[in-house]
Amino acid sequence: MLRHYYAQRARGGHIPLRVGVIPVGAIFYLQNDSWWRDCYRRYAVCRDPWIVDGFLNGTMGASRRNHHTGLWESTYGAARSDLALVRSLRDGRRRSIPVRTLQLHEEFGLAQPPTTYPSLPDLRFYRVPPVLRRWTA
């Protein structure tokens, strides 16, 4: 099982790598936008299961200046992933959705159980960034 490192919403306790709560391979029944906006929510449609394939790198807008053109460019950072790549198990379509949407689906019980948390990594093989090392002292 793959892990989502440096996640915004992470498992509890002292974990320097901040392992996320949504594992790769979890199955969700994604709902339309109208279901979320409806004041009196009707029954959820659980006919189209989606599986989490991975997490995309986050975009840091206008974070670096190009020396040749003089324009600001956006870069991608691996520690800022807030989008998940999901695939439909019914017809194979792929789309990217926010991780927060997956967390809402899990809270409303629209995930196929069990969605177990990812196992914790062995921290001997990882180098903790100096920013996190300062907080752990």
DSSP letters spanning 89-127: TTT--EEEEEHHHHHHHHHTT-BPSP-PPPPPP-GGGSP
Q: Is 20 helix (H, G, I), strand (E, B) or coil?
A: strand
Q: What is the pTM of this model?
A: 0.66
Query: What value does the mean pLDDT take over residues 45-59?
Result: 85
Q: Is residue 1 pLDDT above 50, yes or no? A: no
Query: What value does the mean pLDDT take over residues 57-69?
Result: 81
Q: Is 33 helix (H, G, I), strand (E, B) or coil?
A: helix
Q: Is 130 helix (H, G, I), strand (E, B) or coil?
A: helix
Where are the domains positioned within the chain? Answer: 27-136
Cβ 31 vs Cβ 105: under 8 Å: yes
State the sign of the Cα–Cα–Cα–Cα dihedral 122, 82, 11, 16: positive
Q: Which residues contact 97 (CB under 8 A, 6 or more apart)?
A: 30, 83, 84, 86
Q: Is residue 136 pLDDT above 70, yes or no? A: no
Residue 42: what pLDDT?
A: 74
For tokens 């100096």, what's the residue? 130
Query: What value does the mean pLDDT take over residues 66-75?
Result: 88
Cβ 9 vs Cβ 103: under 8 Å: yes
Residue 16: what pLDDT?
A: 62
**What digits encode the pLDDT tens for the residues 10-36?**
666 666 666 667 888 889 999 887 777
- Identify which has the larger pLDDT, 52 or 74: 52
**What digits encode the pLDDT tens for the residues 78-134?**
656 678 899 999 999 999 998 888 888 888 888 887 666 666 777 777 766 665 444
- The residue among 46, 56, 53, 4 whose CA lies nearest residue 26 is 53
Query: What value does the mean pLDDT take over residues 52-65?
Result: 80
